[in-house]
Homo-oligomer: A and B are copies of this chain.
Amino acid sequence: MSVDLDISGLLPKARPLLVIISGPSGVGKDAILARMRKLGGHLHVTVTATTRLPRPGERDGVDYHFIPPERFQAMIAAGELLEWAQVYGNWYGVPKDQVKQALARGQDVIIKTDVQGAATIKGILPQAIFIFIAPCSFHELEERLKQRHRESGFDLGLRLATAREELKRLPMFDYVVLNPQGQLEVAIRHIRSIIEAEKSRVNPRLVEL
Protein backbone atom coordinates (compact mmCIF):
# COMPACT_ATOMS: atom_id res chain seq x y z
CA MET A 1 0.00 0.00 0.00
CA SER A 2 1.89 3.02 -1.25
CA VAL A 3 0.18 5.53 1.04
CA ASP A 4 1.36 3.50 3.98
CA LEU A 5 4.96 3.58 2.82
CA ASP A 6 5.04 7.30 2.20
CA ILE A 7 6.43 9.50 4.94
CA SER A 8 6.24 12.85 3.18
CA GLY A 9 2.91 13.56 4.86
CA LEU A 10 4.62 13.24 8.23
CA LEU A 11 7.35 15.75 7.37
CA PRO A 12 6.95 19.55 7.52
CA LYS A 13 5.77 21.10 4.27
CA ALA A 14 8.53 22.97 2.42
CA ARG A 15 7.81 26.69 2.25
CA PRO A 16 9.63 29.45 0.41
CA LEU A 17 11.80 31.57 2.67
CA LEU A 18 12.01 35.34 2.94
CA VAL A 19 15.56 36.38 3.77
CA ILE A 20 16.46 39.95 4.71
CA ILE A 21 20.10 40.86 4.19
CA SER A 22 21.16 44.02 5.96
CA GLY A 23 24.16 45.74 7.51
CA PRO A 24 25.99 49.07 7.48
CA SER A 25 26.78 51.04 4.35
CA GLY A 26 30.08 49.85 2.86
CA VAL A 27 29.96 46.32 4.30
CA GLY A 28 29.57 44.74 0.86
CA LYS A 29 25.86 43.93 0.65
CA ASP A 30 25.67 44.73 -3.08
CA ALA A 31 28.63 42.49 -3.91
CA ILE A 32 27.04 39.64 -1.94
CA LEU A 33 23.73 40.07 -3.74
CA ALA A 34 25.35 40.27 -7.17
CA ARG A 35 26.97 36.91 -6.44
CA MET A 36 23.78 35.35 -5.07
CA ARG A 37 21.87 36.50 -8.14
CA LYS A 38 24.06 34.13 -10.17
CA LEU A 39 22.92 31.15 -8.08
CA GLY A 40 19.57 31.55 -9.83
CA GLY A 41 16.79 28.99 -9.96
CA HIS A 42 15.17 28.53 -6.59
CA LEU A 43 16.36 31.96 -5.43
CA HIS A 44 14.84 35.34 -6.25
CA VAL A 45 17.08 38.26 -5.38
CA THR A 46 14.78 41.27 -5.18
CA VAL A 47 15.76 44.21 -7.35
CA THR A 48 15.55 47.31 -5.17
CA ALA A 49 14.25 50.57 -6.65
CA THR A 50 16.50 53.57 -6.04
CA THR A 51 16.83 57.21 -6.97
CA ARG A 52 20.64 57.10 -6.77
CA LEU A 53 22.79 57.01 -9.89
CA PRO A 54 24.32 53.72 -11.08
CA ARG A 55 27.86 52.93 -9.95
CA PRO A 56 30.26 51.73 -12.64
CA GLY A 57 29.16 48.29 -13.85
CA GLU A 58 25.69 48.41 -12.33
CA ARG A 59 22.85 47.56 -14.73
CA ASP A 60 19.32 48.93 -14.59
CA GLY A 61 16.75 46.21 -13.84
CA VAL A 62 19.46 43.81 -12.68
CA ASP A 63 21.36 45.45 -9.83
CA TYR A 64 18.73 48.11 -9.15
CA HIS A 65 15.74 49.71 -10.77
CA PHE A 66 17.18 53.19 -11.26
CA ILE A 67 14.20 55.52 -11.27
CA PRO A 68 13.67 59.28 -10.99
CA PRO A 69 12.51 60.73 -7.65
CA GLU A 70 9.03 61.49 -9.04
CA ARG A 71 8.46 57.84 -9.97
CA PHE A 72 9.69 56.79 -6.53
CA GLN A 73 7.22 59.14 -4.84
CA ALA A 74 4.43 57.74 -7.03
CA MET A 75 5.32 54.17 -5.94
CA ILE A 76 5.12 55.20 -2.29
CA ALA A 77 1.78 56.91 -2.89
CA ALA A 78 0.39 53.81 -4.65
CA GLY A 79 1.49 51.52 -1.81
CA GLU A 80 3.77 49.59 -4.14
CA LEU A 81 6.75 49.43 -1.77
CA LEU A 82 7.18 46.96 1.10
CA GLU A 83 9.52 49.41 2.79
CA TRP A 84 11.43 52.48 1.71
CA ALA A 85 13.98 54.83 3.21
CA GLN A 86 16.23 57.70 2.44
CA VAL A 87 19.83 56.62 2.95
CA TYR A 88 22.54 59.28 2.65
CA GLY A 89 20.43 61.44 0.37
CA ASN A 90 19.08 58.71 -1.94
CA TRP A 91 15.83 56.80 -1.76
CA TYR A 92 15.68 53.02 -1.75
CA GLY A 93 12.57 50.85 -1.76
CA VAL A 94 11.55 47.20 -2.06
CA PRO A 95 8.80 46.56 -4.66
CA LYS A 96 6.06 44.58 -2.93
CA ASP A 97 4.72 42.80 -6.03
CA GLN A 98 8.10 41.40 -6.96
CA VAL A 99 8.43 39.76 -3.53
CA LYS A 100 4.85 38.47 -3.52
CA GLN A 101 5.10 36.93 -6.99
CA ALA A 102 8.41 35.20 -6.31
CA LEU A 103 7.06 33.69 -3.06
CA ALA A 104 3.93 32.58 -4.94
CA ARG A 105 6.18 30.82 -7.48
CA GLY A 106 7.76 28.98 -4.54
CA GLN A 107 11.09 30.76 -4.80
CA ASP A 108 13.11 31.79 -1.78
CA VAL A 109 13.28 35.57 -1.77
CA ILE A 110 16.23 37.70 -0.74
CA ILE A 111 15.72 41.34 0.11
CA LYS A 112 18.60 43.73 0.66
CA THR A 113 17.93 46.71 2.87
CA ASP A 114 19.67 49.04 5.30
CA VAL A 115 19.28 48.43 9.03
CA GLN A 116 16.42 50.91 9.34
CA GLY A 117 14.59 49.08 6.51
CA ALA A 118 15.20 45.73 8.18
CA ALA A 119 13.55 47.08 11.33
CA THR A 120 10.52 48.15 9.28
CA ILE A 121 10.22 44.71 7.67
CA LYS A 122 10.64 43.05 11.08
CA GLY A 123 7.53 44.95 12.17
CA ILE A 124 5.52 43.76 9.15
CA LEU A 125 6.97 40.25 8.68
CA PRO A 126 8.58 39.10 11.93
CA GLN A 127 8.81 35.53 10.60
CA ALA A 128 11.29 36.48 7.88
CA ILE A 129 14.94 35.50 8.37
CA PHE A 130 17.09 38.48 9.30
CA ILE A 131 20.81 38.34 8.50
CA PHE A 132 23.19 41.11 9.54
CA ILE A 133 26.33 41.43 7.43
CA ALA A 134 29.14 42.74 9.64
CA PRO A 135 32.61 43.99 8.77
CA CYS A 136 35.55 42.35 10.56
CA SER A 137 36.57 45.75 11.92
CA PHE A 138 35.64 49.41 11.65
CA HIS A 139 39.04 49.93 10.10
CA GLU A 140 38.10 47.59 7.23
CA LEU A 141 34.75 49.34 6.80
CA GLU A 142 36.51 52.71 6.71
CA GLU A 143 38.91 51.54 4.00
CA ARG A 144 36.06 50.22 1.87
CA LEU A 145 34.06 53.42 2.18
CA LYS A 146 37.14 55.48 1.29
CA GLN A 147 37.75 53.40 -1.82
CA ARG A 148 34.17 53.61 -3.00
CA HIS A 149 33.43 57.27 -2.29
CA ARG A 150 36.01 59.65 -3.57
CA GLU A 151 33.62 62.53 -4.26
CA SER A 152 33.98 65.76 -2.26
CA GLY A 153 31.47 66.25 0.52
CA PHE A 154 31.34 62.53 1.36
CA ASP A 155 31.03 62.33 5.11
CA LEU A 156 33.09 59.33 6.19
CA GLY A 157 32.74 60.19 9.87
CA LEU A 158 28.95 60.14 9.60
CA ARG A 159 28.97 56.72 7.90
CA LEU A 160 31.20 55.22 10.58
CA ALA A 161 29.18 56.74 13.41
CA THR A 162 26.01 55.37 11.80
CA ALA A 163 27.60 51.93 11.39
CA ARG A 164 28.36 51.94 15.11
CA GLU A 165 24.73 52.73 15.91
CA GLU A 166 23.54 50.10 13.45
CA LEU A 167 25.62 47.40 15.13
CA LYS A 168 23.60 48.07 18.28
CA ARG A 169 20.52 46.83 16.39
CA LEU A 170 22.12 43.38 16.08
CA PRO A 171 19.80 41.75 18.69
CA MET A 172 16.90 42.27 16.29
CA PHE A 173 18.55 39.93 13.77
CA ASP A 174 18.58 36.12 13.65
CA TYR A 175 22.07 35.67 12.22
CA VAL A 176 25.28 37.62 11.87
CA VAL A 177 27.67 36.89 9.00
CA LEU A 178 31.13 38.44 8.78
CA ASN A 179 32.21 39.67 5.37
CA PRO A 180 36.00 39.79 5.54
CA GLN A 181 37.64 41.91 2.84
CA GLY A 182 38.58 39.78 -0.16
CA GLN A 183 36.74 36.67 1.07
CA LEU A 184 33.31 37.15 -0.39
CA GLU A 185 32.86 33.43 -0.95
CA VAL A 186 33.08 32.82 2.82
CA ALA A 187 30.15 35.15 3.47
CA ILE A 188 28.19 33.60 0.58
CA ARG A 189 28.80 30.10 1.93
CA HIS A 190 27.53 31.17 5.36
CA ILE A 191 24.38 32.70 3.90
CA ARG A 192 23.71 29.59 1.84
CA SER A 193 24.17 27.44 4.94
CA ILE A 194 21.66 29.56 6.82
CA ILE A 195 19.14 29.14 3.98
CA GLU A 196 19.75 25.38 3.84
CA ALA A 197 19.43 25.05 7.62
CA GLU A 198 16.23 27.10 7.70
CA LYS A 199 14.82 24.79 5.04
CA SER A 200 15.48 21.86 7.39
CA ARG A 201 13.55 23.36 10.30
CA VAL A 202 10.90 21.12 11.78
CA ASN A 203 8.74 24.20 12.41
CA PRO A 204 9.05 26.24 9.23
CA ARG A 205 8.60 29.99 9.45
CA LEU A 206 5.32 31.07 7.94
CA VAL A 207 5.60 34.31 5.98
CA GLU A 208 2.31 35.81 4.83
CA LEU A 209 2.62 38.81 2.57
* B176 engages A197 (CB within 8 Å): no
Say whether chain A's binding surface is mostly helix, strand, loop, or mixed. Answer: mixed
* B196 engages A200 (CB within 8 Å): no
A7 to B171, CA, bound (A): 15
A139 contacts B by Cβ under 8 Å: yes
* Chain B residues, Cβ within 8 Å of A91: none
A199 → chain B, closest Cβ, in Å? 9
A: contact size bracket: 35 or more
A171 to B198, CA, bound (A): 15
Given contacts A11-B134, A12-B176, A134-B11, contact A171 B202 (CB under 8 A): yes
Among A134, A175, A190, the one with the most B-chain Cβ atoms within 10 Å of its Cβ is: A175
A136 to B12, CA, bound (A): 13
A162 to B138, CA, bound (A): 55
A97 contacts B by Cβ under 8 Å: no
* A200 engages B171 (CB within 8 Å): no
A191-205: which have CB < 8 Å to B?
192-194, 196-198, 200-203
A113-140: which have CB < 8 Å to B?
131-132, 134-139
